């Protein structure tokens, strides 16, 4: 078996936790009611001070993206998605505003 050097990542990862705890109201469902979703996102990124600063500069935008994601969907729509699907969709939206690097994972 042959592995190239590109197959492995030796960079350390860190967690960006400054987003904090968020409360989002879902879009009203068929019954006209919303649900409150409590989110505490942890963003995994490559240990890089410049990228950390970019994340910090975009903190308000990232909060808005997360809150908007949940407010654009009903509780029923969200319940049909698994956690991996929600994380993947959020990751794509968050990465779209970043320039230097991309977020590796969101939990």
Q: pLDDT by residue (tens digit) across 71-82?
A: 999 999 999 999
CA-based radius of gyration for the chain = 16
Residue 47 three-state SS: coil
pLDDT in tens, 2-12: 333 333 344 68
Question: Residue 23 pLDDT > 50, yes or no?
Answer: yes
Give the chain's mean pLDDT: 89
- pTM value is 0.85
Angle at alpha carbon of residue 13, lines to 47 and 84, rounded to 5°? 130
């Amino acid at each position: 078996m042959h592995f190239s050097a590109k197959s492995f990542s030796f960079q350390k990862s860190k967690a960006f936790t400054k987003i904090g705890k968020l409360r989002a109201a879902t879009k009203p469902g068929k019954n006209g009611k919303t649900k409150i979703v409590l989110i505490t996102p942890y963003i995994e990124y490559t240990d890089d001070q410049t990228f950390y600063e970019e994340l910090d500069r975009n903190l308000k935008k990232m909060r808005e993206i997360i809150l908007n994601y949940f407010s654009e969907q009903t509780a029923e729509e969200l319940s049909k998605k698994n956690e991996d699907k929600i994380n993947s969709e959020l990751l794509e939206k968050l990465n779209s505003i970043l320039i230097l690097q991309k977020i590796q994972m969101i939990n």
